[in-house]
Amino acid sequence: MSAVKRINSEKPKKFQWRGWLLYLLPLPLLPAVVVALTSGHTGAALARAASFALAMFAATLIRKGIRLEQEGKLRRFKRRASTVPYRFIGAGVLSFAMFVLAYWGIFNDYGIVDSVLFALATLLGCYLYYDFDPARKDPEIAAVGITTEELIELLDEAEERIAAIERASKEIKNTEFKDRLRRIVREARAVLDTIEEDPTDARRARKFLKVYLDGAKQVTEGYAKAHRNDANPVLEDNFRRVLTTIETVIAEQQEKLRENNVSDLDVNIEVLQLQIEKEGVA
């Protein structure tokens, strides 16, 4: 099988600045709350505090919508970026915050018509600058039993486990083991790539990505830590057998994903766990 380079496997994610301005704009409301309190305008202070809280919540929603859409594009998901219209909801919350601020939070109270116009202008500004969540005809990931957020989290955690196996393998001196672990990492990333191509496989592969890769990570880290400076033929043979099991199960999992084979992998996962305990290499 050819090596598969996942988009996020070699360099850290870039920090996403888009949407952070929404966290900065409400900050002047904090001293404004203090000013209203010291001036005896309790109602205005409460309105400003509420507007600040709503604006920060709206910023979080809009940022989440932006992040999910970019994650979806980055990972080539063939599904809608999110099952929840976070940016649209966030824009609505921010518009309501502006209405509250204009109608109750300013000393020369604006009328309801002016306040509504401020809110509508805020909604339009959010649409023009941040856009709303795109409506697509592609089915939602939730339709196959997993949400976008769950899928992103699942793949991120799996990538972290694979990266941990890579780091641990660098501490192992045995050339055979390093080569086999390199192949295991490559094949594991191929599984992630298959899931990215077709997220409908994610629900069936959940236990493999969570339980099995975690077991592979633990046994590799345990061996690297315990046998860094000495060579024990018995323990090397034990670790070699465990690596064989890992390689076999990863190949089986990839084959089942390609064939859309619904048979579970629980037995093989349990075999690995029992073998790790029996061989004593972790």
Where among 100, 130, 160 does a domain terminate? Answer: 130
Which of these three, 130, 158, 177, is where a domain ends?
A: 130
Residues 168 and 260 in one domain: yes
**95 and 46 share a domain?**
yes
Whether 149 and 125 share a structural domain: no
Domain count, the chain: 2
Contact 189, 7 (CB under 8 A): no
Residues 6+ apart with CB under 8 A from 226: 235, 281
Q: Summarize pLDDT for 200-257 with one digit per residue, the tens.
A: 777 777 777 887 888 888 888 888 887 765 667 777 888 888 888 888 888 888 787 7
Q: Which domain holds residue 42?
A: 21-130
Q: Are residues 153 and 275 in the same domain?
A: yes
Let me know if residue 14 belongs to a domain: no
List pLDDT tens digits, range 109-118.
688 898 999 9
Structure tokens at 132: 């709303």
Q: What is the mean pLDDT of the chain?
A: 78
On whether residue 137 sits in a domain, the answer given is no
Judge if 114 and 85 occupy the same domain.
Answer: yes
CA atoms of 94 and 119, how far apart (whole Å): 8
pLDDT reading at 52 higher than 90: yes
Sign of CA dihedral 183, 189, 195, 198: negative
Residue 37 covered by a domain: yes
41: which residues sit within 8 A by CB, 6+ positions away? 107
- 107 and 204 share one domain: no
Spatial neighbors of 188 by CB under 8 A, at least 6 apart, are 158, 162, 165, 213, 216, 250
Higher pLDDT, 17 or 181: 181
